[in-house]
Amino acid sequence: MSKIRITKQFNFETGHALYGYDGKCRNVHGHSYKLSVTVIGRPITDTSHVKLGMVIDFGDLKKIVKEEIVDQFDHATVFNKNTPHVDLAKELTDRGHNVILADYQPTSENMVIDFSKKIRARLPENISLHSLRLQETDTSFAEWYASDNQ
């Protein structure tokens, strides 16, 4: 049986600031992110299996990405935990805001790397993460491919 890729798309709103950056993105701002998650595997051939013909149930993939990414990042503000933004993060957290202190500068590039690790850890053994595409604006996105990271 051939390997097949399937893709599920997600949307979430996230704020961030890039400490030390030399442009406008050093200021706290937000994006309407679009995340495309593509996995690869062989469709189930067991005729007694309730998911016959599926690589993975779209609902199962949705659950993984929702729990690991969307529920965490939607309407959160992300700061690098090693910057002076930690004072602002504490203030926001104390006021009931959802703040993530990441181990990295919260660029689309670094976020997509982080997302790849989280999603891969939750996929069934017979399913592999093929690629991620994190679109920050209508014209800008970062992509992660398993083939580039072996």
Q: Which domain covers residue 16, as residue numbers?
A: 4-145
Number of domains in the chain: 1
CATH number at residue 110: 3.30.479.10
Question: Is residue 93 in some structural domain?
Answer: yes
Question: Binding site for Zn(2+): residue ranges?
Answer: 16, 29, 31
Domain-located, residue 150: no
DSSP characters over 70-113: IHHHTTEEEEETTSTHHHHHHHHHHTT--EEEESS---HHHHHH
Catalytic residue among 49, 67, 75, 91: 75
143 is catalytic: no
25 is catalytic: yes
Cα separation, 76 vs 147, whole angstroms: 31
Q: Which 8-state DSSP code applies to residue 148?
A: G
Residues of the chain with pLDDT under 70: none
Is 13 one of the annotated active-site residues of the chain?
Answer: no
Give tens-digit pLDDT for 75-97.
999 999 998 888 899 999 999 99
Task: Give the pLDDT confidence of 34-45 residue by residue, as tens digits.
Answer: 999 999 999 999
116 domain-assigned: yes
Which residues lie closer than 8 Å to 147 by C-beta, 6 or more apart? none
In a domain, 121, yes or no: yes
Q: Is the dihedral of CA 73, 76, 80, 86 positive or negative?
A: negative
Selected catalytic residue, list 68, 85, 130, 136: 136
Task: Name the active-site residue from 25, 67, 97, 130.
Answer: 25
Task: Give the pLDDT confidence score for residue 86 in this predicted structure.
Answer: 86
CA distance 27 to 30: 10
- The pTM for the full model equals 0.95
Q: Is residue 36 in some structural domain?
A: yes
